[in-house]
Copies of this chain bind each other. A is one copy, B any other.
Amino acid sequence: MTQEAGGSATTSIQAKVIAEMRARIIGGEVDPGAPLSELALADEFGVSRTPVREAFKQLQTEGLVEIRPRVGTFVTTPSRREITELFEMKELLEGAAARLLAQRGRVPEVDRLRNNLREADAAVARDDREHYAKLVGEFHDLLITGADNSKLEAHYKTLMNQLAYPRLVKTSLDQPGRPLQSDREHHLVLELIIEKDGDSAEQVMREHVRASRRALLAGLPAPGPGPSTDPART
């Protein structure tokens, strides 16, 4: 969804607001649970409340904000449980993508994945976690794109948005030894894809997601961004 990201020159003013807000939330510039004032944002962007309002509406459907009627709009704070659910979905979709890509055979994405891993190896070797994190994101995106199913891709994107994934990846990669293991797992998955072994590719990919989830949770403090910040709820 929201495929307009592809540089549509239309760029209605609200499209900009949506993009900007999404970036801020995913990037962690605004704290989870924080209230988002229509008026404040409208002023900041130099527009009226209307486009901001419509942006909120869409972001809500994407699961990034929560609109409490007559109260306000807040950045969603995924509960521990929701994070688990999101990872369950991530495992499901990425596993399926690996299988589908394997079935497709030799497609451009496979080569791009190979190149990605080449770069990733180098990044790991020199312990450049920042760059590696970026490459990890790219790897997973390529996998999804390679599955060649636009619906899968759309659902995956909302999923990642809700996880605020870019923020999380770094945490998990800060676990000692995790980057190297992650890189190895990526290699294994790609090998299986090239061998057209869809079943195994899915299996391994799913296991990889579970491993990354474990690494992530290990790196998080107690309840993380839990609802503790907002005891007033309910």
Residues of B within 8 A of A155 (CB): 89, 155, 158
> Does A12 lie at the interface of the complex (its beta carbon under 8 Å from any beta carbon of B)?
yes
Closest chain-B Cβ to A160's Cβ sits at a distance in Å of: 12
Q: Does the CB pair A69–B10 fall under 8 Å?
A: yes
> Does A229 lie at the interface of the complex (its beta carbon under 8 Å from any beta carbon of B)?
no
Cα(A85)–Cα(B2), bound, Å = 17
> Does A166 lie at the interface of the complex (its beta carbon under 8 Å from any beta carbon of B)?
no
Cα(A65)–Cα(B133), bound, Å = 36
Cα(A150)–Cα(B88), bound, Å = 11
Contact among B69, B89, B149 for A85, CB-based, below 8 A: B149
Interface bits A70-107 vs B (CB < 8 Å: 1, else 0): 00000000000010011011001100100010000000
> Does A151 lie at the interface of the complex (its beta carbon under 8 Å from any beta carbon of B)?
yes
Residues of B within 8 A of A2 (CB): 61
The closest CB in chain B to the CB of A8 belongs to B69
Cα(A151)–Cα(B58), bound, Å = 17
Residues of B within 8 A of A162 (CB): 151
> Does A174 lie at the interface of the complex (its beta carbon under 8 Å from any beta carbon of B)?
no
The closest CB in chain B to the CB of A89 belongs to B151
Q: A54-B57, A88-B151, A151-B159 are in contact. List 15 more A-B contacts (CB 8 A).
A: A1-B63, A2-B61, A12-B69, A53-B54, A54-B54, A58-B60, A58-B61, A63-B154, A85-B150, A86-B151, A89-B149, A89-B151, A89-B152, A92-B152, A151-B162
Q: List 24 A-B contacts (CB under 8 A).
A: A1-B61, A1-B63, A10-B69, A12-B69, A53-B54, A57-B57, A58-B58, A58-B60, A58-B61, A63-B154, A82-B151, A85-B149, A85-B150, A85-B152, A86-B151, A88-B100, A89-B149, A89-B151, A89-B155, A92-B92, A92-B93, A92-B96, A151-B159, A151-B162
